[in-house]
């Protein structure tokens, strides 16, 4: 492991920073961590990502799978540990907080065609495939206890059904609903709801977390025979990819391993073994698929091992000691 972490510490500043915190368990006050964080904030790629994330309030979501959308840039920044007092983050947060629906969740800019049940006009609204990510980012930046974030969390968690979280949208979006049967849970909504709940201590061991986790693990166990909506857990799902944007094995594993009461679940450990088997002899991971919007990053290629991807994989595996 020492050889592997030494290799990771030769990578981009954000990888160095997270490696020191997540794999080496060094404290934020450690001079080496402080130096890595300072370098991360000065990194041109990180600074450009902050700028791009700032376009959230002016960019329409046309597809929640669009990896280059400012929402996913925002979540990446939250994932790697940026905070409210970091340059540019406060302005992004201020714009997000201006668009909180009367229901509670924070809104993003959308334009749903009339034939999908929308108005065909630009409008503010939310869906269960975006609102939890906004809540997650705000909480991870340091606003988890803010009453506005708490209100958004309560409303979203209240959408839970017996079989997990469904496709759900704000009142402004009318009758819009994703593909699949109305009674099916939406795997992606369950995934990002769990991601949001990881940042809320009072919700981490709640019925909402347990039900959503069971929805995902049951889908994994039955992946050869059943799937909800268009969310297969087949070959594409099992390809390693960074950053953590969509419904794929590493994103699911990263979220589920954050719940201690799942660590001995056989289905989760089977998923972890599937990921572990993809490492080379040195314990390094190479991307098996890439997001074109992130192709300039070191995990945006499939030719060589990626430090960023390797960090994400080992961080999840280490949580359950696989």
Checking if the pLDDT of 177 tops 80, the result is: no
pLDDT, tens only, 59-111? 998 788 889 999 999 999 999 999 999 999 999 999 999 999 999 999 999 87
Q: What's the start-to-end Cα distance of the chain, in Å? A: 13
pLDDT, mean of residues 299-318: 97
Checking if the pLDDT of 175 tops 90, the result is: no
pLDDT, tens only, 225-237? 776 666 778 888 9
Q: What is the pTM of this model?
A: 0.94
Q: 1.10.3720.10, 2.30.140.10, 1.50.10.20, 2.60.40.1180: which CATH number matches 60-208?
A: 1.50.10.20
Contact by Cβ (8 Å): 307, 8:
yes
Any residues with CB less than 8 A from the CB of 150 and at least 6 apart, and which? none
Which backbone phi and psi does 135 adopt, to 5 degrees?
Answer: -60, -45
The residue to which tokens 């074109």 are assigned: 292
> Which pLDDT band, with edges at 50, 70 and 90, does 17 fall under?
very high
The residue to which tokens 């595996």 are assigned: 317
Query: Distance between CA atoms of 277 and 4, rounded to whole angstroms?
Result: 16
Judge residue 286's burial from the number of C-beta atoms within 10 Å of its C-beta, 0-12 exposed, 13-18 middle, 19 or more buried: middle
pLDDT, tens only, 21-71? 999 999 999 999 999 999 999 999 999 999 999 999 999 987 888 899 999
What is the pLDDT, as a whole number, of residue 176? 66
The three-state secondary structure class of 44 is helix
Written as one string, the DSSP assignment of 220-271 is: HHTTTT--BTTB--STTTTS--SS--SSSHHHHHHHHTT-GGGTT-HHHHHH
């Amino acid at each position: 492991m020492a050889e592997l972490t030494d290799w990771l510490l030769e990578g981009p500043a954000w990888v160095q920073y997270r490696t020191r915190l997540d794999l080496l368990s060094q404290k934020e006050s450690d001079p080496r961590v402080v130096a890595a964080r300072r370098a991360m904030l000065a990194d041109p790629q990180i600074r450009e990502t902050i700028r791009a994330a700032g376009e959230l309030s002016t960019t329409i979501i046309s597809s929640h799978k669009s990896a280059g959308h400012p929402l996913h840039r925002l979540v990446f920044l939250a994932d790697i540990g940026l905070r409210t007092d970091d340059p540019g983050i406060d302005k992004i947060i201020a714009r997000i907080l201006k668009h909180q629906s009367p229901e509670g969740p924070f809104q993003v800019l959308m334009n749903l065609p009339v034939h999908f049940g929308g108005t065909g006009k630009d409008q503010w609204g939310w869906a269960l495939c975006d609102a939890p990510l906004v809540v997650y980012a705000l909480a991870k930046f340091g606003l988890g206890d803010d009453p506005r974030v708490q209100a958004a969390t309560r409303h979203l968690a209240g959408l839970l059904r017996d079989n997990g979280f469904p496709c759900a949208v704000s009142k402004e979006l009318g009758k819009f609903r994703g593909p699949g049967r109305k009674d099916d849970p939406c795997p992606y909504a369950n995934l990002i709801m769990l991601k949001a709940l990881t940042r809320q201590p009072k919700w981490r061991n709640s019925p909402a977390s347990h039900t959503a986790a069971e929805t995902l693990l049951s889908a994994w166990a039955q992946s050869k025979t059943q799937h909800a909506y268009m969310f297969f857990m087949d070959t594409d799902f099992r390809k390693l990819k960074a950053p953590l944007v969509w419904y794929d094995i590493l994103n699911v594993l990263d979220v589920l391993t954050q719940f201690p009461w799942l660590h001995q679940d056989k289905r989760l450990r089977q998923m972890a073994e599937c990921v572990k088997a993809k490492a080379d002899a040195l314990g390094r991971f190479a991307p098996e698929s890439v997001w074109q919007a992130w192709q300039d990053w070191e995990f945006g290629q499939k030719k060589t091992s990626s430090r960023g991807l390797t960090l994400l994989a080992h961080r999840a595996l280490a949580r359950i000691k696989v």
